[in-house]
Amino acid sequence: MRKSATQAAAVSAAETGDMALVRRALAREADAFRAIIKTHNQRLYRIARGVVRNDAEAEDIVQEAYMRAFACLDSFRGDASLATWLSRIVINEALGRLRKRRRVVAMPAEAQIIRFPLNPNDLNPGDDPERTMAQRQILGLVERATDSLPDVYRAVFVARVIEGLSIEETAEVLGIRPETVKTRLHRARALVRKALDDEIGPVLLDAFPFAGRRCDRLTAAVMRRLGFEDASS
């Protein structure tokens, strides 16, 4: 489908903003690095977590991906958005970890499902306790259902549904055809619906949070590795 003039202008403005930010980062401006990290932390964390299913390893993957990206930042030409470019690097890093893990350790017969961290800040402390508990239970169901997906379906599901990438963006990030994205997404959704067994109904999949202290901690760690001693926001 062709983009409207408004959509095209928005994309062009975003790409121009990306290039300006990259140029500032190449000039070693600390605020530019911090802006890149803070802007993309949540998307990259969700993608990494969707692949490896481990909170701490996902954070480590994102941190390493930033270091790889910043080491070759001069190769960014703006052909794709900065978000897509960074997402590809995270995907490659995460898949590399999976391959290494499988070479070193035989996969258990029944994999342990690791719960995603639920950010308390995302729940209103003024809510009724029973409602808050219900929200936690719903998110837990979604997270466990997503964790139970086979790797090829989970990566597409996280990118497309949880993170909200378009079919074209998901295909570009994962290095597959848009038709493959559609096929895998259809299967992933069917598996998730089966796992949830109609218990939660049409609930927004607002899972895999990455904000607050977790976001600040990762930002500070990357800034230190880049040589900026004052890593405060």
Q: How far apart are CA 25 and CA 160, in angstroms?
A: 29
Residue 32: pLDDT over 50: yes
Stretch 25-33: mean pLDDT, rounded? 95
Stretch 9-14: mean pLDDT, rounded? 47
One domain, residues 3 and 108: yes
Angle at which helices 30-52 and 5-26 pack, to 10 degrees? Answer: 110
One domain, residues 217 and 109: yes
One domain, residues 154 and 70: no
Residue 23: pLDDT over 80: yes
Residue whose tokens read 């003039």: 5
One domain, residues 67 and 132: no
One domain, residues 72 and 137: no
Residue 11: pLDDT over 80: no
Banded model confidence at residue 4, pLDDT cuts 50, 70, 90 = low
Q: Both tokens of residue 57?
A: 């390893």
Q: Where are the alpha helices (DSSP H) in the chain?
A: 5-26, 30-52, 55-71, 82-104, 129-147, 151-157, 167-174, 178-196, 212-225
* Greater model confidence, 107 or 130: 130
- CATH number of the CATH domain containing 63: 1.10.1740.10
Domain that holds residue 60: 1-113+210-233
One domain, residues 122 and 104: no
List the single range of 40-44, 110-114, 195-199 with lowest mean pLDDT: 110-114
Cβ-based neighbour number of residue 45 at 10 Å = 24
pLDDT at residue number 51 = 84
Banded model confidence at residue 140, pLDDT cuts 50, 70, 90 = confident
One domain, residues 2 and 107: yes
Residues ≥6 apart with Cβ < 8 Å to 109: none
pLDDT at residue number 196 = 75
pLDDT at residue number 36 = 95
Q: How far apart are CA 181 and CA 156, in angstroms?
A: 6
One domain, residues 55 and 69: yes
One domain, residues 16 and 67: yes
